[in-house]
Structure formats: structure tokens, C-alpha cells
Amino acid sequence: MVKKLYLIGIGPGDIKYLTLEAKSVIERLSLFYVSKKEGRKEDLTLRKIALLKAIKGDNFKIVALPFPERTKGKDYREKIRAWRTEKAKILREALVNADEEEAGFLIWGDPSLFDGHIDIMRELERELPIAWEVIPGLSSFQILCAKERISLTEISTPVIFHTPRTLLKSKPPEHPAVVFLDNYETFQKFKDKEFYIYWGAYVGSEDELYVSGRLREVWEKIHNVRKDLKHKKGYLMEVYVLKPLKPPGEVSDSN
């Protein structure tokens, strides 16, 4: 049985974005878990395996866990909780049946941002005598800001993190906002407002693509690019930053 599990943030999956701590933990372990993706999303699993091969050669064992897809519909929070409970059962079985005492779970980006495995481990530790540790990783919004050479924070203002679900219910952001996986294209809700948008797809990977500009001028281009990418790859990993344009004469650190 696994007695200690490491939730390892691997950033976008390119070894150059891996932290030294994450690399050190991966070098030491021999057993790794990943979420199993099939069909057109299979390359998400293969990219994690390629990352391990780049570090360890063939000196590792990997277990692809067949987590179910999240069901859609009403009662969103309840569906998320039920989904995570099902994932916890699958992970629990894998941990109990393992021969190794330590293992790593590879997680895109950073485990603390829009990822449920920390909550899953809190559920499991009530049932199993298991220790666990979180290894932070780079998030896509950090790489996006670096690529676009922008400061996410304004002087004396907060930064807001949104899912499209929460942004749909919000007024136009008064401060810089980071939005992940906007399947609703919620940015269109503000296309007549004064915003600058920095949008990126597959950020930090070999397929990365960026679009930036005044929202009213580039929203349609982003719409068309999203449609094309989803058609080609079958899925879309995306993030964007919305920045309110300042009134004339007001100081801003935006480029």
C-alpha cells in the first residue's frame, strides 16, 4: 500500500516549466498515477508519460486511473461532489493495492488552482493511514503573463480569479480578472465594454497560441480561433486575463 502520496504540479507538461522540487520528487519516485484520457484527449495522458520519460527514461511504473467524466446539468455543486467521491474510490483502490510505499500523482498546473485532488485527499485521509504532500507547479496564467510581458497586478488593486460559471453571474470586472476554461465564451458578455484581453490556448506547450488586444476588436477572432482549435484537437485548454482600460490620465502598469 502507498503510505505517502505526492500531488505534483507539473505546469503545462513541458520539462522547462517544471520546478526543481517537482523534478527532484519525480526523480526519487518509481510509481506514478495520472488521469486516464481516451479518444482525442489521449494526448493529455501521453504528454504526462513523455514528461516522465524525459526525466526517468523507462525507470518508472505508471497507472492511468479510469476516472469518469463529470456529468453536466443542474445542481452543479452536487454533481462535482459526487464526481470527486467516485474519483476518490478509484484512487483509494489503486493506493491500497500498490506494492510501493510512495507514489506521485501528476497534476496539470498547480494542485491548488481549480483542481479537486486536494479535496479528494482530505476525504481519503479519513479512511486510510496515508500521508500526502502538495508540490506546487506553474499555472497557465503565470506563463500567459510572461509571454505577453504584462504585470497581472495593478497598483493597489486586487486580482480576481474566475471560472466562466462565476463570471457569467458577475458585473463587468473592475479589476484584472483571470478566467480559466471559458466554454461559454463569457468574454463576449463584455465585448462592448472597455477591456483589454490577453488570451492563450495550450499555454506553455508546443501548440501554444496567443491573441491579445482590445476586447471589442479581437473577441470575434478569439471566437473563430477557439472553434478551429476545438475542431482540430477535440478539446481546448485555455486561459485569459481581462484588464479594464483606465480612464485617460489614470496610471496603469498595463502594456
Q: What is the pLDDT of residue 75?
A: 81
Do residues 13 and 86 touch, judged by C-beta distance below 8 A?
no
- The fold adopted by the segment(s) 4-135 is Cobalt-precorrin-4 Transmethylase; domain 1 (3.40.1010)
Boundaries of every domain in the chain:
4-135, 140-244
Q: What is the pLDDT of residue 215?
A: 98
What stretches of the chain adopt beta strand conformation (E)? 4-9, 31-35, 61-65, 102-107, 131-135, 160-162, 177-180, 195-201, 209-214, 238-244
| 140-244: CATH number | 3.30.950.10
CA angle 103, 77, 82 (to 5 degrees): 50
Q: What is the pLDDT of residue 248?
A: 39
Instruction: Locate 191 and state its grid cell.
Output: 465585448
Q: What is the pLDDT of residue 174?
A: 92
Q: What is the pLDDT of residue 253?
A: 46
Q: What is the pLDDT of residue 38?
A: 87
pTM equals 0.89
Q: What is the pLDDT of residue 72?
A: 74
Q: What is the pLDDT of residue 20?
A: 97
Question: Are 4-135 and 140-244 the same fold in CATH?
Answer: no
Q: Which residue stretches of the chain have pLDDT < 50?
A: 248-255
